[in-house]
């Protein structure tokens, strides 16, 4: 299975999330492999703004499976509000690697 990898080299703020969302329409899965609660980005779709933290880019495409990888530190109480705010969009379900750190 071929893969496209988006990697930043400047410790964030390079536009990785925006670029990933631009190419996600042609993908079946988008994986955020590592990070924490400070990792986020904002997407504007049809004039509506979505501030995403933790949630992978591509989540607004109904055919894309968004995955949170095993390099994440997750606090479930912090994740849930971010996921439920997307339920009115097309968020099918949070998919999380079994090895992600839960605190």
Of 13, 21, 37, 63, the catalytic one is 13
31 within some domain: yes
Which residues, other chains included, contact 68 with Cβ-Cβ below 8 Å and sequence gap of 6+?
31, 32, 54, 55, 56, 74, 94, 95, 96, 97, 100
Is 46 a known active-site residue? no
20 within some domain: yes
Domain limits at 91? 16-102
Of 21, 37, 41, 46, the catalytic one is 41
Q: Any idea what the Cα angle at residue 90 is, between residues 29 and 56, rounded to 5°?
A: 40
Confidence (pLDDT) at 88: 56
Per-residue pLDDT band for 26 (boundaries 50, 70, 90) equals very high
DSSP 8-class letter at 11: S
9 within some domain: no
Average pLDDT over residues 5-31: 85
Is 41 a known active-site residue? yes
Question: Mapping DSSP to helix (H, G, I), strand (E, B) and coil, where does residue 72 land?
Answer: strand
Q: Any idea what the Cα angle at residue 54 is, between residues 49 and 55, rounded to 5°?
A: 55
* pLDDT tens readout for residues 42-99: 887 788 888 777 778 888 888 888 888 888 777 777 766 666 666 655 555 567 777 8
Count of domains forming the chain? 1
Question: Mapping DSSP to helix (H, G, I), strand (E, B) and coil, where does residue 86 land?
Answer: coil
* pTM score, whole prediction: 0.74
97 within some domain: yes
Confidence (pLDDT) at 23: 92
Give me the CATH number covering residue 57.
3.40.440.10
59 within some domain: yes
**Exposure of 95 in the CB half-sphere (CA atoms within 13 A):** 13
Confidence (pLDDT) at 87: 61
């Amino acid at each position: 299975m071929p893969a496209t990898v988006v990697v930043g080299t400047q410790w964030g703020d390079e536009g990785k999330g925006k670029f990933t969302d631009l190419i996600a329409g042609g993908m079946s899965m988008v994986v955020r492999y590592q990070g924490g609660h400070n990792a986020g980005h904002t997407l504007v779709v049809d004039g509506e703004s979505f501030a995403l933290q933790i949630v992978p880019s591509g989540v607004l495409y109904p055919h894309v499976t968004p995955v949170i990888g095993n390099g994440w530190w997750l606090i479930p109480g912090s994740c849930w509000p971010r996921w439920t705010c997307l339920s009115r969009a097309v968020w099918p379900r949070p998919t999380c690697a079994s090895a992600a750190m839960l605190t």
